[in-house]
Amino acid sequence: MTTDQRAAGTGAPHHANDGTEPPARGIGLVHEHDRSLILTHDGAELARYVYRPWDARLESPRPYFHPIRTLGGDLVSLYRPHDHVWHKGIAWSLPNVGSANFWGGPTYVRDQGYRQLGNDGSMCHRGFDRLETLADAVVVGERLDWITEQGQTWFAEHRGIQGTVDPERGVWTLVFETSFSNLTERTIAIGSPTTEGRENAGYGGLFWRGPRSFTGGRVYTPQAEGGDDLVGVRAPWMAFAGRHDEHDRSSTLVFVDAPDNPGHPTRWFVRTGTFGCVCPAPFFGEEVPAEPGATLSYRYAVVIADRDRERQGSARLAEMGLAELEQADSRGKVAGP
């Protein structure tokens, strides 16, 4: 009896001997050199992190996650919507950094409203310190510079990204860490349109834009369920559940503010009526001064789940996100100078 015959008789996989590539199993990372990283599970794409974007200056080029999918394959992010072309999936985006805009588009100016200024900066990838696939996680360490439209480098950033998967619960988790240091010799105040005088427009931070079909979705916090009425609330986590076109399934994203973040629990920027978005907003109502040489650090977990988990289920997912933030520490320092 040949080896192949013995394998067939015992149910052993044929690819062990016939040269067929075995299927991908577990969490994985694909590097599109000089363009993006792709997080996968069992060979299926969960998220693409574009670290060298091709955006126009008006859109404040910066790395972003898109597309983002649930374990079930449903798309939960939107790229370059016509109403705000600088919105791209999930991205670290700041509209009021001193006189610079690292968000894209016009800047809100006190007593003048939105004005298109020559101030759309970019967050430029400089290199990876870590690209690693562990048994239970993908771990990425990245260096970036924040460069103004005039070509001045104001901040140096160390960014950490970790991805984990829990197939039994139908969820996966993205941990995002950032530490950015002021390289200039002056204090740079980081704020929002609200700190410039526009009420309830305190966006700025880790900003997510959902699919068009998520308009009218439900928002959950530990204390409440609602929609646009939850703009500006303080909470340790916020969840957004939306429905998909075509098949009518639902998905839930839970954003968790790390307990050691400055100002925890953070204030939140959220929209449901005009479109779906969520942003933990540490600069919502008060400017945060970045002194010369000082480093500011923030950490978040985003738990991405199939189905509407409602408020109680979202609370359990938030606990998972908090546990992933703690576990991320044990995998070694990723974000930090």
pLDDT in the model for residue 1: 37
pLDDT digits (tens, 9 = 90+) for 82-121: 999 999 999 999 999 999 999 999 999 999 999 999 999 9
Task: Quickly state the pLDDT bin for 16 (edges 50, 70, 90).
Answer: low
Separation between Cα atoms, residue 126 and residue 176, nearest integer Å = 18
Separation between Cα atoms, residue 177 and residue 195, nearest integer Å = 24
Task: Quickly state the pLDDT bin for 333 (edges 50, 70, 90).
Answer: low
Radius of gyration (Cα) for the chain, nearest Å?
A: 21
User: Does residue 253 have a pLDDT over 70?
Assistant: yes
User: Domain boundaries in the chain?
Assistant: 30-330
Through-space distance between the first and last CA atoms of the chain, rounded to whole angstroms? 62
Q: Say what the alpha-carbon torsion angle 94, 324, 164, 254 is, to the nearest 10 degrees.
A: -60
Separation between Cα atoms, residue 256 and residue 192, nearest integer Å = 21
pTM confidence score: 0.93
- Yes or no: say if 166 and 191 are a contact pair by the CB < 8 Å rule: no
pLDDT in the model for residue 10: 37
pLDDT digits (tens, 9 = 90+) for 131-179: 999 999 999 999 999 999 999 999 999 999 999 999 999 999 999 999 9
pLDDT in the model for residue 335: 54
Question: Whole-number mean pLDDT of the chain?
Answer: 94
User: Does residue 313 have a pLDDT over 80?
Assistant: yes
Question: Can you tell me which residue has the tokens 């016509």?
Answer: 82
Six-digit token pair at 130? 């870590």
Give me the percent of the chain exceeding a pLDDT of 90.
Answer: 91
Based on the number of CB atoms within 10 Å of its own CB, is 86 exposed (0-12), middle (13-18) or buried (19 or more)? buried
Separation between Cα atoms, residue 276 and residue 210, nearest integer Å = 5
- Yes or no: say if 71 and 164 are a contact pair by the CB < 8 Å rule: no
Alpha-carbon distances, residue 4 vs 1, 10, 19, 20, 254 (angstroms): 8, 10, 12, 13, 49
- Yes or no: say if 26 and 130 are a contact pair by the CB < 8 Å rule: no
Separation between Cα atoms, residue 102 and residue 121, nearest integer Å = 5
For every residue of 275-315, DSSP letters joined together read S-EEEE-TTSSS-EEE-TT-EEEEEEEEEEEES--HHHHHH
User: Does residue 69 have a pLDDT over 50?
Assistant: yes
Separation between Cα atoms, residue 270 and residue 241, nearest integer Å = 12
Apex 244 CA angle, 83 and 137, nearest 5: 95
Domain 30-330: which topology?
A: Beta-galactosidase; Chain A, domain 5 (2.70.98)
Q: Is 5 helix (H, G, I), strand (E, B) or coil?
A: helix
